[in-house]
Amino acid sequence: MKFRNIVTGVCVAMAFIACDDNTGNMGLDITDGSDILSVSTDSFVVHSQSVAAAPAIARNSNGYLGQFTDPETNTPITANFMAQFATLENFSMPTADKIVSKVGGMVVADSCELLLFYENGVGDSLAPLRISMFEMSQPLNESQTYTTAFNPVTAGVVNTSVPMTTKTFTLEDQSVSATERAKKDYSPSIRFQLSQPYQDATGTTYNNYGTYLMRQYYQHPEYFRNTYYFVNHVVPGFYFQITNGTGAIAKIYNAVLQVYYRYNVDGVVHTGVAKFGGTQEVKQVTQIINQPAALTSLLNDNTGTYLKTPSGILTELTLPINDIMLGHENDSINAAKITLQRINNTSVNGYALQAPQQVLMVESDSLQSFFSHHQVTDYKNSFTTTLSNNGYTFSNIGSLVRSMYTKRKNGSTSPNWNKVVIIPVTTTTMNVQDNGYNNMVITGVYNDLNIRSTKLVGGNTPLRITVIYSRFK
């Protein structure tokens, strides 16, 4: 049952709106007050349901690596990781005659290593995981959009006959002391030593991978002048695959390929390091392997709805657009507010999943294009909000309500014309100065590939959206 409370006066409208973070199209100008505007509020029922998520766009500022059993479905989730590496513009090394280490008059590297820097993701910090590292036979297509369902082995871009190296690790790095781990500047990493003999695609053998890189540089310095040439002619990338163990998934936030060498300057020997980083300039793709059938029981649970990542479950809302606009076709929508309240997790599992910290609301028909076209929230047709007071509040989606109504009025026949989805995301931001003030601006919105889950009030329990209108008398 809906309720209505008619009030007049700008002050009342502003009192409601002042509580909202996003005011959108307020539709109010400074006026003389209650003799000019009529302001009213109303609330309407919103229905929600859980829907299966399609494979997520794998473009992300982080990668994920490991295997973990989901305590809600008792099924394993596996995360493998592909990384490419960039070179700095106009990259350079000392001239070959200054390199100290040589064999048969040709330069050699002292050693080479690849490091994956990570944060604790989820699971048992002491669970051992074994990773095989494979060289990619060709780079990923920079113009192609990859999803978490992409399998580089079946796609033929990885030769898995023999791994370059293998590594066993735990989230709590046991290779360094507790004292070292406690230091502020300590960053845990999975370290792959690449100092064993390496054979390139032409059949040439080098004493280590670093020597291959150095000789490529001295024979073809043009391959190192920018990232495109480097990826297509020198290092197409690597695939990291979980081959044994379960219990944890690491969140990879940086990858670095390092080559160590010595060089002579005026009779003094120095140690040099050539570094190539995994940045957002190049492809970083996470492959997620899970069992969609295991989600069936949660999808059919009508006591609420779910948000579950990665590539799991979204919550879909059906907004009562016609009811909201009935009798208010020419009114301004000053605010339209809806809160999705969490149902607290009662699991006693030691590794119960955390709730997503940030979610996106976007029209159902626009979900895939939003991510594939690198869109960011505009607070007109797409909105982000963070977990607060045990729920997710969208303070003002009035512009979206008006947009949906206009599309329908103009002849939209989409069955999803009045539906939005709620999807967990991560964002990147930057500070932008405007008239001397620092404003935080969202620069990227990505599918959240962390293993997270929460249950929301909904399903058989209707939600409500509260709307504030105003009209000139």
> What are the pLDDT tens digits along the chain (473 aa)?
443 443 333 344 444 444 444 444 444 444 455 568 899 999 999 999 999 999 998 877 789 999 999 888 888 999 999 999 999 888 999 999 999 999 999 999 999 999 999 987 799 999 999 999 999 999 998 888 899 999 999 999 998 888 999 999 999 988 888 888 888 888 899 999 999 999 998 999 999 999 999 999 999 999 999 999 999 999 999 999 999 999 999 999 999 999 999 999 999 999 999 999 987 677 889 999 988 888 999 999 999 999 999 989 999 999 999 999 999 999 999 999 999 999 987 666 667 789 999 999 999 999 999 998 889 999 999 999 999 999 999 999 999 999 999 999 999 999 999 999 999 999 988 888 777 778 888 889 999 999 999 999 999 999 999 999 999 87
Terminal C-alpha separation, the chain: 27
Give the pLDDT score at 7: 39
Give the pLDDT score at 349: 65
Question: Encoding tokens for residue 285?
Answer: 């793709």
d(CA 330, CA 418): 19
CA-based nearest residue to 403, from 351, 362, 454, 457: 362
Residue 324: in which H helix or E strand, if any?
helix 321-325
Give the pLDDT score at 35: 62
What are the E-state strand segments in 155-265?
165-169, 189-193, 198-199, 205-206, 238-244, 248-265
User: Is residue 37 a contact partner of residue 10, using CB atoms and an 8 Å limit?
Assistant: yes
3-state secondary structure of 433: strand
d(CA 49, CA 457): 10
Residue found by looking up tokens 């990619």 in the block: 136
* Residue 161 to residues 129, 131, 132, 194, Cα–Cα distance (Å): 20, 15, 11, 18
Give the pLDDT score at 128: 96
User: Is residue 10 a contact partner of residue 33, using CB atoms and an 8 Å limit?
Assistant: yes
The amino acid at 132: S
Q: Provide the pairing of β-strand 248-265 with 198-199.
A: unpaired
d(CA 313, CA 306): 6
Burial class (CB in 10 A: 0-12, 13-18, 19+), 327: exposed
Give the pLDDT score at 319: 98
Question: Encoding tokens for residue 251?
Answer: 């969140």
What predicted TM-score, i.e. pTM, was given to this entire model? 0.85
Give the pLDDT score at 292: 83
Give the pLDDT score at 294: 87
DSSP one-letter code for 366: G
d(CA 17, CA 468): 9
